[in-house]
């Protein structure tokens, strides 16, 4: 009987420990994911054998911030894919929530077609991937670099320093990739992204975590 | 010989210092004139003004007010943010309830600058919003977001409530004016 109690307590501790899992910090190895792309196929980062790394951008259809960055994301992908860093866009929103009704899988397909996305646009079904990265809004960006040890987080935060494209002074993502290509570490490695809160009914997934 | 060298050095240093000082003084004064003024003033059809601030001016005018008895409720919102628009009526209701008291409400729009005339003003006009709305230019947002609060992840709605004694930053949306009032009462004496 006592043993059962101990087991139960251990289980409770293990579960609560899991839900309090903190988001990746710079330098951490990140887990690969397997998410459905707009072409109906499942995609993982390890599928891209020749890539040096990836720019993961949590973004969506409805958010005006995301929309303001679409053309910049397309241009970045075009400029850096041939250098080994491709964009992977991921929609983290729950489309069953009224505010995110424009972010359904079907409307993602439509949006990608309309804007002629040349990069994957994945659906974080079940909302399991974005909490691991600690993404809280759209757009929220993360750069992972392939290393001997695995996929390493090297940058997280904003795409650049101004939502108004004409006023941009610091192109954080482009500068970070340039640094990586030159064998250096991105500086800054952490910035703060601004945008629409990720639409999720489970608020524990959106807790602002350390870092 | 030594004394004259010393004097010479002192004079040189004094000149250097005073020149330097003048430069900084000049820079400071030119800054403070422009830095506390709005970049632009818009007007709704109702005749209410909407001031557009850079962060420096915003900080001077809205974050560093220290009148001992006044509490400020600073709500960050945008017309494009659904949850922000949904909670505005709760703020307006509470603002009316506290109209005779030492509480000032300010609604800081983070709308796109190119949309101010096409989205923000029509939004205010359609709803006949005459409350104090200002626009914050998000230029170089990473340099100032933490000056509002270090914990701010960058999502809105978010609300700052402060007075000379206490301060709270709430990155959340409110479901009722009662919920907001509870947060306000924790700051007011």
Quote the ipTM score. Answer: 0.72
- Domain with A84 in it: what CATH number? 3.40.30.10
Q: Check whether residue B112 and residue B28 sit in a common domain.
A: no
Q: Check whether residue B22 and residue B84 sit in a common domain.
A: no
Q: What is the pLDDT of residue A10?
A: 54
Task: Indicate the average pLDDT of chain A.
Answer: 90
Closest to A70 measured CA to CA, from A18, A37, A111: A111
H or E segment to which residue A197 belongs: strand A195-197
Domain that holds residue B3: 1-35
- Domain with B121 in it: what CATH number? 3.40.30.10
Q: Check whether residue B65 and residue B146 sit in a common domain.
A: yes
The total number of structural domains in chain B stands at 2
Q: Check whether residue B74 and residue B158 sit in a common domain.
A: yes
What percent of chain A is modeled with pLDDT above 90?
79
Q: Which of residues 128-167 of A touch B (CB under 8 A)?
A: 136-137, 157-158, 161-164, 167
Quote the minimal CA–CA distance from A168 to chain B in Å. 8
CB contact under 8 A, A192 and B156: no
Closest to A171 measured CA to CA, from A91, A98, A95, A73: A73
Q: Check whether residue B119 and residue B88 sit in a common domain.
A: yes
Q: Check whether residue B82 and residue B155 sit in a common domain.
A: yes
In a domain, A2, yes or no: no
In a domain, A101, yes or no: yes
Q: Check whether residue B4 and residue B76 sit in a common domain.
A: no
Q: Is the pLDDT of residue A89 over 90?
A: yes
Domain that holds residue A113: 24-206
B147 touches chain A (CB under 8 A): no
The total number of structural domains in chain A stands at 1
Q: Check whether residue B121 and residue B52 sit in a common domain.
A: yes
Q: What is the pLDDT of residue A203?
A: 83
Quote the minimal CA–CA distance from A121 to chain B in Å. 22
Q: In sequence order, what E strands does A8-167 have?
A: 35-37, 42-43, 53-58, 85-91, 121-123, 137-138, 140-147, 150-157
Could you give the CA distance from residue A197 to residue A58 in angstroms, rounded to a whole number? 11
Q: Give A133-168 pLDDT, tens digit per residue.
A: 999 999 999 999 999 999 999 999 999 999 989 889
Q: What is the pLDDT of residue A173?
A: 98
Q: Check whether residue B20 and residue B61 sit in a common domain.
A: no
In a domain, A129, yes or no: yes
Q: Are A145 and A183 in contact (CB under 8 A)?
A: no
Residues B94-106, mean pLDDT to the nearest whole number:
96
In a domain, A9, yes or no: no
């Amino acid at each position: 009987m006592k043993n059962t109690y101990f087991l139960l307590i251990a289980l409770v501790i293990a579960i609560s420990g899991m839900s309090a899992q903190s988001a990746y910090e710079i330098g951490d190895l990140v887990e690969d994911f397997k998410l459905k792309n707009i072409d109906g196929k499942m995609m993982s980062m390890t599928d891209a054998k020749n890539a040096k790394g990836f720019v993961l951008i949590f973004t969506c259809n409805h958010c005006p911030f995301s929309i303001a960055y679409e053309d910049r994301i397309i241009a970045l992908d075009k400029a850096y894919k041939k250098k080994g860093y491709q964009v992977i866009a991921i929609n983290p929103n729950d489309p069953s929530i009224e505010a995110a009704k424009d972010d359904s899988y079907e409307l993602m397909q439509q949006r990608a077609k309309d804007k002629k996305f040349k990069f994957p646009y994945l659906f974080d079904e079940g909302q399991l991937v974005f909490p691991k990265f600690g993404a809280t809004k759209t757009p929220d960006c993360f750069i992972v670099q392939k290393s001997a040890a695995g996929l390493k987080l090297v940058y997280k935060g904003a795409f650049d320093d101004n939502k108004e494209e004409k006023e941009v002074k610091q192109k954080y993502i482009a500068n970070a990739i340039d640094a990586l290509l030159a064998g250096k570490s991105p500086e800054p490695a952490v910035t703060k992204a601004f945008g629409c809160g990720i639409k999720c009914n489970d608020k524990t997934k959106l807790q602002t975590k350390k870092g | 010989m030594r004394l004259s060298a010393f004097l010479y050095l002192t004079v040189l240093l004094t000149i250097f210092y005073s020149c330097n000082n003048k430069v900084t003084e000049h820079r400071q004064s030119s800054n403070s004139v422009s830095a506390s003024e709005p970049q632009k003033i818009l007007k709704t059809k109702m005749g209410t003004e909407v001031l557009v601030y850079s962060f420096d001016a915003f900080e001077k005018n809205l974050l560093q007010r220290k009148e001992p008895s006044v509490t400020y409720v600073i709500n960050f919102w945008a017309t494009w943010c659904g949850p922000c628009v949904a909670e505005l009526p709760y703020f307006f209701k509470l603002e009316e309830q506290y109209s005779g008291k030492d509480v000032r409400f300010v609604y800081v729009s983070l709308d796109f600058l190119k949309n101010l005339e096409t989205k923000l003003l029509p939004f205010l006009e359609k709803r006949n919003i005459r409350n104090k709305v200002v626009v914050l230019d998000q230029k170089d947002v990473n340099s100032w977001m933490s000056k509002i609060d270090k914990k701010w992840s960058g999502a809105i709605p978010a609300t700052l409530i402060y007075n000379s004694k206490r301060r709270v930053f709430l990155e959340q949306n409110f479901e009722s004016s009662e919920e907001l009032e509870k947060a306000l009462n924790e700051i007011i004496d």
